[in-house]
Amino acid sequence: MLTFLFWNLNGKDLVPAIARLVAVHEVDVLVLAEFTGEQITPMLLALNPEEQAAQFHYAPSECDRIAIFTRFPSDFIKPIVENSRYTIRKLTLSTCEEILFVAAHLLSLLNASAETLDIEAMRLAQEIRVRETEAGHSRTIVVGDLNMNPFSSGVVSANGLHGVMTQNIARKGSRIVQGREYPFFFNPMWGHLGDKGNTPAGTYYYRKSDHVCYFWNTFDQVLIRPDLLDYWDEEFLQILTTDGQQSFLTSNSSTPNSRNFSDHLPLLFRLSL
C-alpha cells in the first residue's frame, strides 16, 4: 500500500504542517510544488526526527517546481525525463510491478493563455505516451497542479490527458478519434467538483469580477491509467483541510487560508499495491 500527498505550497514555509500531515496519514510519497531548495534540509529533519530511524529521503530533480520525498531511497524513483514543469519517473519497488510516476506543475493563466495551457498539456500527454511505449507498459499515475480544471480542454481532450470521469469508461482503455487511438486516464477529481458533504468544493479558490467565475477550481489533480485501477482506493482520495492541529481554511468563508498556509489545499490518495 502506497499513500501519496501532493501540496502546492505557494512558496510558503509550511514544514511543520507538512510533517504533521505525513505522520497523521502515514504518507509514503510526498510531492510538493513551489517548494524552495533551502527548505530541503529542514523538511528532512522534520520528517526524520532524532528519536526514530531515518526514513524519508529526498529524490533529486532537475524540475525546480517539484520536490519529491519518499519513505524509501531515491534509487527506487529514478527520473526518466524532466523539464522545468514536470518530472517523469520509474517507481520500482519490490512489492509491485514498475510504475511510471508523473509529477507536474503546469503553466498558469496568470502568465499564459488558455490555449497555451491546453497545448502544454497535450505535449505532456504525448511525452507520457512516448515513455509508456519505451517502458512497455502503461501503469502510469499523474499528480500535480495542472492549473486547469478536470473539464478544461487540455485535461479532457483525446490528444491531451484524456481524463474521463468514470472508471467504466476508462477501463475501455482508449478510443479512436479521426483514425487515431488515444489512451484514457481516469480522473477521479470529477467527483470532487462542487458541494460534497463536508469537503471543499475544489482545491483552489479565486474570485474575480469577470462575468464567468467558477470561484472554486480543482487545479490539483490525480489521474490514473486503467492498468492501475484495480489498485485505486476511491474512498481514500481526500482534499485535506487540516493537519490535525490547525485548519487550512479561513474561519469566515471556509476558503483556503493563504495568509497562514497556501492558496491551494493538499491532495491525499492511495494505491493498494
Q: What are 2-32's pLDDT values in tens digits? A: 999 999 999 999 999 999 999 999 999 999 9
Q: Domain 2-271 class?
A: alpha beta
Nearest to 86 by CA among 72, 67, 69, 73: 67
The pLDDT of residue 148: 98
pTM of the model: 0.96
Q: What are 115-134's pLDDT values in tens digits? A: 999 999 999 999 999 999 99
The whole-number average pLDDT for the span 126-151 is: 98
| Cα dihedral across residues 24, 27, 31, 35: positive or negative | positive
Q: What are 74-117's pLDDT values in tens digits? A: 999 999 999 999 999 999 998 889 999 999 999 998 889 999 99
Identify the band that residue 260 occupies on the pLDDT scale cut at 50, 70 and 90. very high
Instruction: Give the HSE-up count for residue 245: Cα atoms under 13 Å, Cβ half-sphere.
Output: 9
The domain locations on the chain are 2-271
The Cα–Cα gap between 199 and 128 comes to 31
